[in-house]
Amino acid sequence: MSTLSSPILYFDNRSPPVRSVLLVINYLNIPVEYKLIDLFKVEHLKEEFLKINPFHTVPCLKHNELLLTDSHAILMYLCDFYGKGSLLEIKTEKDRALIMNFLMFNATILFEREKIIMRKIFVTGSKEVDPKEVDAVEEAVDYLNKILGESEFVAGNQVSIADLSIVASFSTINLVLTFLEEKYQNVSKWFKKMKQLPCYEKGNQEGLNALQEVMDNICQGELKLKSKSEM
């Protein structure tokens, strides 16, 4: 193991991509220096943070001279650097390809579609969810449900960083689209297994609870799915 100093993580645990990184950090017990960037106080747009990450996004990981600004890249790096000998270790090129495939599924499909709904709530204060946006999320979850009908976890029968990435996204949209667990049984079984991981409470649930609190303050119990006749 290198004698590099501990990584620095710029974070707000209410963010799903941040929580995916916190999951792997807690899974592997990685020593990390944490620097809070409060998104709801717009601290990500402060000059001192923009000098570190001009894209003003979290998570952002600095490890000596290395700077990573995408959660999926951070997951892969931490897994490769700290995961040797653990269940998260990626042992074959085939495994790596499958894991990368599902990391990209999260990055470009599930999280992107979820983000449209969540931003309307948290940025504009909208209390209505567009059914077209729900359909787009459901298409992604339906695909995930089919994959999880063939294996225990998304990239095979062993938990991987792809599961940690996807569960952070799924658990977030599940706050709004609460019917997903009942409708997609394979996803529901997988989600229950993920919640049993020792890393889940600190890595994901704490931030999810904090996000739920903000959402409740915005929506005041009035969040609803807009009917197609209203469009």
Known catalytic residues?
15
Return all residues near 217 (Cβ < 8 A) that are at least 6 apart: none
Token pair of 167 as six digits: 């569960």
Distance CA 25, CA 63 (A): 14
> Measured between alpha carbons, how far is 21 from 203 in angstroms, rounded to an integer?
8
End-to-end CA distance of the chain: 57
Sort strands 8-11 and 33-36 into parallel, antiparallel or unpaired. parallel
b/e 39-69 (16+ beta carbons within 10 angstroms → b): beeebbeeeebeeebeebbbbbbbbeeeebb
In whole angstroms, give the CA distance from residue 168 to residue 164.
Answer: 6
